[in-house]
Every structure is written in C-alpha cells, then in structure tokens.
Chains A and B, each alone.
Chain A
Amino acid sequence: AQSVTQLDSQVPVFEEAPVELRCNYSSSVSVYLFWYVQYPNQGLQLLLKYLSGSTLVESINGFEAEFNKSQTSFHLRKPSVHISDTAEYFCAVSLSGGYQKVTFGTGTKLQVIP
C-alpha cells in the first residue's frame, strides 16, 4: 500500500518570501501525485498533479512541484508567497491504474505573515 508523509505541520513565512512544503511518498510501483489546497471552511481544490511525463508541474497561481523518483518526493514550491496563499496544503498519492484509492498526507498549514 502507498503512503505519504508531510514533514511539516505548520510553515510560517513572510509575504513575498519563497516557500517549500515537503512531501515524501512510499510505494513500490508507479504512482500519481497531487497537491490540494484547502482554504478555511472550504473543501479541497486541486492545485497541481503529476501523472506522467515532465517531472516539473506548475499551477496557474505560481506554485510548482517536482517529482523526484529517486528521493520519492514531490515538494511544493513558490518563489514569492502572497497573503492569499494562507491555507492548508495536502499532498496525495495514488497507485497508477484503475480503482486505486487516493491517500492523503496530514496536511501543512501555510501561514503567510504580512
């Protein structure tokens, strides 16, 4: 079975500073990887995903994540954060193929400080 670990439960960062949210997964077979964001009192929204192909994936709001198979990581980065990025971020993994449940990490709360 696959698993995912988010190493930091909370990450405070000043506005306009860069940020990296860490995610490591465990699986012996091919996986799909996702980052979701949850704003207060809302459901989860897909931020970006890796299914295959280029290992660097980007979102429309400036986030990017790189799939690193050798390090089994899928860290999320943004070069300059904004107050509106304050939210909880979840990394998720599923085995490639059909009928595979998605396993979520425990989440990282990003607190952007003005």
Chain B
Amino acid sequence: KAGVTQTPRYLIKTRGQQVTLSCSPISGHRSVSWYQQTPGQGLQFLFEYFSETQRNKGNFPGRFSGRQFSNSRSEMNVSTLELGDSALYLCASSLGPAGTQYFGPGTRLLVL
C-alpha cells in the first residue's frame, strides 16, 4: 500500500497570504489528523477528521481550518499567514479514531 502523501512538500509564502495543504491518506484509512511541528513548540495537534467531520480540534486560531472529502483526502488551509506559521505541517492517517497513526513526510512552510 502506498503511504500517506502530502503536497506540496515545500512552500514559501509571504505574510498575509493564504495557503492550502493537501493530504492523501493510506487507502482504507478514514481518519486524518494534522499537526504543526516547530523547533520551539514541538508537535502540536491541529485537528482530526473522520468521515468528513471534524472530531477533535487543538488550540489554534480560526485562521487554521480544514476539511475532509468523501474519499478521505484532507486539506488544511491557513489564512492571513504570519511569520510564526513557518513550520513543518504533518498529516497522519489511521483506520479510525484512536487507531495507530501513520505519518506523511510533511509540508515545510516558510512565511517571509
């Protein structure tokens, strides 16, 4: 089976812009979670989707949003980018809620 794929792998944006990141889970996996990883804050949970519904949400501002499609693919959107949004954004999929998570390679976002 193919692993979790994330596109794009690298992004450079400027402050104020918006960005959309995509995640394709492992075939058959219906749960997708998003994380932000930075050197200072470590791995922080953004949100989890299962069956197109957001099931859990971390402590991030409303500028961070996501959605899941009927084929379980997920997108994450960040509006009005700030310098502090520069990070590695990781997506993980699992068969279902609380299942073992399998991570993609991440999207590295740099905000200038």
Interface residues of A (CB under 8 A from B): 32, 34, 36, 42-46, 49, 90, 94-107
Contact = CB atoms under 8 A, between A and B. Distances in A.
Interface in B48-83: 48, 50, 55-56, 58
Nearest to B48: A101
Contacts of B56: 99-101
Interface string B78-106: 00000000000010100011101111111
Interface residues of B, number: 23
Nearest to A94: B98
Contacts of A107: 42-43
B24 interface: no
B46 to A, nearest CB: 10
22 contacts: A34-B101, A36-B103, A43-B90, A43-B104, A43-B105, A44-B92, A49-B100, A90-B43, A95-B98, A98-B96, A99-B48, A99-B98, A100-B97, A101-B45, A101-B56, A101-B58, A102-B45, A104-B35, A104-B43, A104-B45, A106-B42, A107-B42
A74 to B, nearest CB: 15
Contact of A98 (B58, B97, B105): B97
Contacts of A95: 98
Nearest to A95: B98
B74 to A, nearest CB: 15
Contacts of A32: 98
A34 B97 contact: no
Contacts of A100: 56, 97-98
